[in-house]
């Protein structure tokens, strides 16, 4: 009898062992990826109250030709009323003695990054004015919709907001219009392939983990491009804004036909001239995702140019100008990314808007009616 008699023989060939090892490795990798996906979704749910994507908050109204929030939607920290606006219900017809505000803009007015409807700056402004003028009743319409440019906001104003009879309209616009113009300039100069934003991959539509990884990689490459000076747009900021001026003027004038007082606010961003190079790269991250050919200084110059136009349009139309964009500190405590507010940033934005409205004689006259 041999020494190994009675012992089981290894029946797996070397090839089978390698195949088993590959299967085990792939299975482990898939489990790790699944765990990471679950962790990302849990983190988003804890932070925003839902693991859903922002696109699941909207629907296309084919009759109006607008993408609008889903009426009566409640997802995490976001609640949409029965008329399809983020915020509390809006009485129709407007109750006698009520001063109604309307806020017109895009995602920075919608405020998807704050922790609840009561942290949206439009809501805070309305409550603050009610505290300032306690003998009067105030309500509001949050007409902000992510992705809107000024033409879409004007259509939103005319078709959805105007029928609600606002007394005061506050306009906070420019981010998406500037992004579109910068991509057009970059395409014309051969720095970008075309003016369209490069779409996310199909996997990013289904996996939050992949979506986050893809965005971070795009930002990382854009930041490296800034450091290498390769493929950057040489920007003449003074040449920007002809279309923005035209569209903003039209929006303000359309609002003035529908409300007793119209205000337009300059745009605030986290990115500031006095920051270090590393701070600027971090503060510019979300803009570099959309405009990877830009530099932090170029972004600063572009927003400064658009704010100059906001001031000029306010002066030309007689609209109330809300300044103080730098009153909101340019740091991660106040901005979730380059342009979107945290709770603290939204409160600071509300403070500057409330201050301007409360001091305005025309607004005081409306309240006194």
Distance (Å, whole) CA 233 – CA 250: 29
Per residue, what are the HEC states of 266-295?
Answer: CCCCCCCCCCCHHHHHHHCHHHHHHCCCCC
Average pLDDT in the 276-288 region? 92
Using omega within 30 degrees of 0 as the cis cutoff, is the peptide bond preceding 93 cis? yes
Q: Which DSSP string corresponds to 92-140?
A: SSPPTTEEEEEEEESHHHHTTTSSSGGGSHHHHHHHHHHHHSTTSEEEE
pLDDT, tens digit (0-9, with 9 covering 90-100), for 249-273? 999 999 999 999 999 999 999 999 9
Tokens in use for 228?
């290498």
Distance CA 246, CA 222 (A): 31
Lookup: tokens for 350: 């509300």
Pairwise CA distance, residues 120 & 126, whole Å? 10
- pLDDT at 316 (0 to 100): 98
Q: Which domains does the chain have, with CATH numbers?
A: 78-368 (3.40.50.1110)
| Cβ atoms of residues 317 and 252 within 8 Å | yes
- Rg of the chain over Cα atoms, rounded to whole angstroms, equals 25
Percent of the chain with pLDDT over 90: 66
Q: What per-residue confidence (pLDDT) applies to 1?
A: 42
Sign of CA dihedral 218, 220, 224, 227: positive
Whole-prediction pTM:
0.84
Compute the CA torsion angle 123, 126, 127, 129 (nearest 10 deg).
150
| Mean pLDDT, residues 121-129 taken together | 98
Token digits of residue 122: 């439009």
Q: How far is CA 97 from CA 83, 93, 128, 358, in A?
A: 22, 12, 18, 18
On the question of pLDDT at 216 being above 90, the answer is no
Q: ∠ CA(154), CA(160), CA(165), 5° rounding?
A: 100
SS percent in the chain: helix, strand, coil, step 5: 50, 10, 35
pLDDT at 79 > cutoff 70: yes
The per-residue pLDDT for range 163-199, each reduced to its tens digit, is 999 999 999 999 999 999 999 999 998 888 876 766 6
Strand order in the sheet with 261-265: 137-142, 98-105, 168-172, 261-265, 320-322
The residues with which 66 forms a beta bridge, in sequence order, are 61
**CB-count burial class (<10 Å; 0-12, 13-18, 19+) for 2:** exposed
pLDDT, position 324:
97
**Mean pLDDT rounded to a whole number for the chain:** 87
Instruction: For 143-153, write each residue's pLDDT tens digit.
Output: 999 999 999 99
């Amino acid at each position: 009898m041999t020494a190994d008699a009675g012992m089981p023989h290894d029946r797996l060939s070397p090839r089978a062992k390698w195949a088993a090892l590959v299967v085990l490795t792939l299975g482990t990798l898939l489990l790790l990826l699944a765990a990471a996906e679950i962790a990302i979704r849990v983190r988003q749910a804890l932070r925003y109250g839902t693991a859903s994507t922002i696109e699941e908050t909207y629907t296309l109204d084919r009759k109006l030709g607008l993408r609008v929030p889903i009426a009566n939607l409640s997802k995490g920290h976001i609640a949409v009323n029965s008329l399809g606006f983020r915020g509390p219900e809006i009485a129709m017809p407007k109750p006698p003695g009520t001063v109604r505000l309307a806020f017109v803009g895009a995602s920075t007015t919608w405020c998807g990054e704050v922790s609840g409807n009561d942290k949206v700056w439009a809501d805070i402004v309305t409550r603050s004015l009610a505290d300032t003028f306690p003998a009067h009743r105030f309500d509001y319409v949050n007409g902000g919709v992510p992705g809107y440019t000024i033409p879409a906001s004007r259509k939103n104003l005319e078709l959805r907001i105007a029928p609600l009879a606002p007394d005061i309209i506050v306009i906070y616009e420019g981010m998406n219009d500037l992004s579109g113009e910068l991509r057009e300039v970059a395409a014309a100069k051969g720095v970008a392939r075309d003016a369209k934003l490069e779409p996310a991959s199909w996997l990013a539509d289904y996996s939050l983990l992949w979506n986050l990884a893809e965005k971070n990689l795009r930002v990382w490459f854009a930041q490296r491009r800034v450091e290498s000076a390769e493929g950057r747009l040489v920007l003449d900021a003074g040449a920007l804004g002809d279309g923005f001026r035209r569209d903003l003027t039209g929006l303000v004038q359309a609002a003035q036909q529908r409300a007793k007082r119209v205000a337009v606010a300059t745009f605030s961003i986290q990115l500031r001239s006095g920051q270090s190079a590393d701070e600027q790269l971090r503060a510019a991250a979300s803009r570099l995702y959309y405009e990877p050919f830009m530099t932090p200084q170029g972004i600063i110059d572009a927003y400064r140019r658009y704010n100059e136009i906001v001031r000029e349009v306010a002066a030309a139309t007689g609209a109330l100008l809300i300044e103080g964009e730098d009153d909101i500190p340019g740091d991660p405590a106040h901005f979730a990314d380059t342009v979107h507010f945290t709770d603290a940033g939204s409160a600071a934005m509300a403070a500057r808007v409330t201050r301007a409205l409360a001091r305005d004689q025309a607004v005081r006259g409306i309240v006194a009616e």
